[in-house]
Amino acid sequence: MFTTIEGFVSEWNQEYQITLNVMNALTDASLSQAIRGDRRTLGGLAWHLVESLGYMSQCGLSYEGPAKDEAIRQSAAAIAEEYRKLGERMVQAVQTQWKDEDLARTQMLFGEEWQNGATLRFTVMHQVHHRGQMTVLMSQAGLRVPDVYGPTYDTWVERGMTPLV
Ligand code: NI
């Protein structure tokens, strides 16, 4: 869990930028790429990440949640823009509404007691988990996958290097 706001913010900013790069690489056509016929789609996962940034408001933080307009989910650019806004609002709310000592406070979430610092840790890890699923679907949809933690397959190829398998 995070014990300082600064620790969270610096890690969040790095992860947020990577996820934003992934979001910005989506295309409208790719949104329907599914894990399996009856499972989540790339667009569904992207929107899930937008919505999950709104959940932090259940921990007593006050900020505007995701737009309710269903049409947004059909547009890759609109999803990416909504993600950009939510990410900024969430981190700004943490920075301005909580102090380090608030991270040790506990709250009831989904029937369990969570320390705020642990909720923030979960938020980062949850994003990373689904972002990983997204990059596989992006590859399957024929999209250029941006660098995540170092070069992706596409970057190796573009640099004329042999990609690691
Ligand atoms: Ni999830």
The answer to whether residue 154 is domain-embedded is yes
Rounded-to-integer distance, Cα 45 and Cα 17, Å: 17
The answer to whether residue 163 is domain-embedded is no
For 146, other C-beta atoms within 10 Å of its C-beta total 18
For residue 162, report the distance from its CA to the centre of ligand 1, in Å. 34
Position 127 scores a pLDDT of 96
Beta-carbon contacts of residue 158 (< 8 Å; ≥ 6 apart): none
Amino acid sitting at position 129? H
For residue 6, report the distance from its CA to the centre of ligand 1, in Å. 25
For residue 158, report the distance from its CA to the centre of ligand 1, in Å. 32
pLDDT bucket at 162, cuts 50 / 70 / 90: confident
For residue 66, report the distance from its CA to the centre of ligand 1, in Å. 16
The answer to whether residue 144 is domain-embedded is yes
Give 61-98 pLDDT, tens digit per residue: 999 999 888 888 899 999 999 999 999 999 999 999 99
The answer to whether residue 148 is domain-embedded is yes
The answer to whether residue 121 is domain-embedded is yes
Task: Work out the average pLDDT over 13-34.
Answer: 97
CATH code (residue 37)? 1.20.120.450
Rounded-to-integer distance, Cα 104 and Cα 92, Å: 19
> Containing domain of residue 90, as a range?
5-158
The answer to whether residue 53 is domain-embedded is yes
List helix spans (H) across the chain.
Answer: 5-24, 42-54, 76-97, 116-140, 153-158
For residue 157, report the distance from its CA to the centre of ligand 1, in Å. 31
pLDDT bucket at 33, cuts 50 / 70 / 90: very high
Rounded-to-integer distance, Cα 128 and Cα 18, Å: 9
The torsion angles phi and psi of 150, rounded to 5 degrees, stand at 90, -175
pLDDT bucket at 56, cuts 50 / 70 / 90: confident
27 with 43: CB under 8 angstroms? no
The answer to whether residue 165 is domain-embedded is no
From the number of C-beta atoms within 10 Å of its C-beta (0-12, 13-18, 19+), residue 127 rates as buried
Position 165 scores a pLDDT of 67
Give 92-146 pLDDT, tens digit per residue: 999 999 999 999 999 988 899 999 999 999 999 999 999 999 999 999 999 999 9
pLDDT bucket at 164, cuts 50 / 70 / 90: confident
Provide the number of structural domains found in the chain.
1
For residue 97, report the distance from its CA to the centre of ligand 1, in Å. 25
Written as six digits, the tokens of 71 are: 């049409």
The answer to whether residue 150 is domain-embedded is yes
pTM listed for this prediction = 0.92
